[in-house]
Chains A and B, each alone.
Chain A
Amino acid sequence: MASYTIPHAPGFVANDAPRIVTERFDHPDSYTLERYLATGGYEGLRAALERTPEEVHGEVRSATLLGRGGAGFPAGVKWGFCPPGVWPRYLVVNGDESEPGTYKDRLLMELDPHQLIEGCLIACYAVGLSQCFLYIRGEMAVAQERVAQALNEAYEAGWVGRNICGTDFSVDIVLHWGAGAYVVGEETALIESLEGNRGMPRLKPPYFPAAIGLYGQPTIVNNVETLANLPWILRHGAEAFTAIGTPTSPGTRMVAVSGHVQRPGVYEITNGTTTFRDLIYGEDYCGGMHPGRELKAFVPGGGSAPWFTPAQLELPFEASEVGPQGSMLGSGAVMVMDDTTDIPAAALTLTKFYAHESCGKCVPCREGATWLERVLRRVCDGTGTPRDLDVLFEVGASICPGDFPHAAVPERGLEPKPFPYQMTTICFVGPSAFAPVHSAMTLFPEEFEARVAPNAHLDTGPSHGPASGTGPSDGSAPNSISEVAIRV
């Protein structure tokens, strides 16, 4: 054990919904092998080893376990993309969680690392992956410690390494850690990084590294939360899993809700049926907005996702319903803005993020994201012109030609434009830089027009943050828009 006290990562809020991946979070020692074994740990692996790899793969396929990293692709189907007869195959675990608003994989790594390790083992067994690389985001020092500790315990106890459980199943899990680059969350960039290179996404096709991945070999890249579901599925069966949620979005998923709600938190919700209204207003969840405040907009699936307004509150966490309404569920991250939010400034915090994180490989993203940030910044400063608003759309169109997805705006008779978009870049960082700009300008054009009106800067001061203040310090509603200049 570490010789010092590691503060318990906060944020998780339990409720009555079924719990699959967070079932041990209430125990203060949830991360130890002892607790893990006392609560059904490694039983999923034992169950898997009593069946053939093909049967285990089949079980996961029939569970319709959708990837929890952002794209939502079924894990069992992805596993099937490995070309037959090409060996060795690898597993790369994507623990590079860094999408704005996303906070779940870190909890899973810090609070239940053995569950992740067991998930890795089950995947390796089912698909014949001979080595596993568990890539953890560089900035997550405590997650790295917890996983390292858990791996050391698991090796010592015979759960990882040579002849696991006395069978001929043998696999090493190597803890790898990054050094700070959002784009590395893109699976081919993750592989580049793991090969010791600059973390730039690879040209496509091939679209899936299952065909050509690490060292040119078939490679499965799975998100932490996706793998963390496997022990439960093998322990209880695919049928029990699909009994939760809906047929097309079964099981549960972890969602972090942040921003202007009463009780921001990380919730394990029932997939497919829980609605955004349940999540934002439900008593078991965020408990609604601060007193006296109203919901203005929310980002439904991480910083890359087009925004929603109260008109979309009834939508459930179901990709087939959210996509046609103009956005995506992404990585389980809802960011909530109340009626005091400065919308252009809020969009700027996200666009600046993507401009900063653009790897520079594709010109439309490298140049486009930078210009989106610069132009949006001067609009926010009150030094922009009406022409700047056209420029923002023009630059965006050079990254994403054609109509960009957006939500319906009933009061202006605007129909939703379904997800996804066309793109001129290799990966999603470029379009992600445009998404907040496009959403903000489409849903709240008047806020931008006011900012570029003649002498607007005299009204607004040098610049404003999106903040409505740091929350109710005296138990009342948040302050009005801060007078303090923001530099985002």
Chain B
Amino acid sequence: MSFFSEENRSLAREIIGRYPKRRSAMIPLLHVAQAQAGWVTEEAMVEIAELVDTTPAEVLGTCSFYEMFKREPVGKYLVNICATMSCALAGAAELMEHAEERLGVRAGGTTPDGLFTLASAECQAACTEAPCLQVNYRYRYRVDADGFDQLVDDLAGGALDDEIPPHGVTARVRQHIPADRAVGAVPPEAVNEPPVWMAAPAGNGAGSA
């Protein structure tokens, strides 16, 4: 039995291969798992443990530390309303009140149709555009009550399907290191020499490109 799809399994191998130690891939792999299922299942953690040579308990330990990893299903759209100072100064509390009324759930709750999970979040690095929120980590700036209602309508009606993927998917453009360009990751134990350009000036050909 395996959790990861064929495609994600090969993606996982590609990601692991970039690190000098497999365990470093743990958080990226948890993201891949969450993108596949919408949340992080126990099966996923067991499989990640195998992939990075550790125990499921260790994976759970890491997973449970980080806010973004959900260990139970959440709505298709996770609406994170910032509550930290700059947004609070611009009326974030009123926005949350409105959101709760509109969606009919309290912060932390999920709508019965499974479409929206509403949450209070910490500073999102958009402080000049307060109050702000993120839907599945895609920003909306200077959101007022009308703007929020429009956003909910658009999400429910599918108008934002192109821009905002379902919960779990974060970046949709992934790094790909071409094999003929990669230097390759080496375990630190295997290296005790300075890199070649430190040993001798990079003069051989430098600047002639």
Binding site for B on A (CB under 8 A): 2, 4-5, 7, 9-11, 46, 49-50, 52-53, 87-88, 97-103, 105-106, 125, 128, 130-131, 137-142, 144-146, 148-149, 151-152, 155-156, 158, 160-162, 165-172, 174-182, 193-199, 215-217, 256-260, 264-266, 299, 303, 333, 335, 337, 341, 345-346, 349-350, 352-353, 356-357, 359, 465-471, 473, 482, 484-488
Contacts and interface: CB of A to CB of B under 8 A. Distances in A.
Contacts of A335: 85-86, 89, 127
Interface of B is mostly: loop
Contact of A175 (B136, B175, B198): B175
Nearest to B59: A196
A467 B94 contact: yes
B21 A195 contact: yes
Contacts of A162: 180-183
Contacts of A469: 91
Interface of B: 18-21, 23-28, 30-31, 52, 54, 61-62, 65-69, 80, 83-86, 88-97, 107, 120, 122-131, 134, 136-139, 141, 144, 162-163, 170-178, 180-186, 188, 191-198, 200-202, 204-209
A167 B91 contact: no
Contact of B178 (A2, A156, A175, A466): A156
A131 B205 contact: no
A468 B92 CA distance: 11
Contact of B130 (A156, A181, A258): A258
A151 B175 contact: yes
B177 to A, nearest CB: 6
Nearest to B20: A215
B89 A102 contact: no
A9 B140 CA distance: 10
Contact of A172 (B66, B180, B182): B182
Nearest to B40: A179
Nearest to A488: B83
25 contacts: A2-B173, A53-B198, A87-B191, A101-B85, A101-B86, A101-B127, A103-B126, A130-B183, A139-B68, A161-B182, A169-B197, A174-B19, A215-B21, A215-B188, A259-B86, A259-B89, A259-B90, A264-B129, A303-B84, A350-B84, A356-B122, A467-B90, A467-B91, A470-B144, A485-B93
B68 A179 contact: yes
- Residue from A102, A125, A130, A155 with most neighbouring chain B CB atoms (10 Å): A130
Nearest to A127: B198
Contacts of B80: 139
Which of B54, B65, B67 lies at the interface centre, i.e. has the most chain A CB atoms within 10 A of its CB?
Answer: B65
A349 B83 contact: yes
Nearest to A179: B66
A99 B84 CA distance: 10
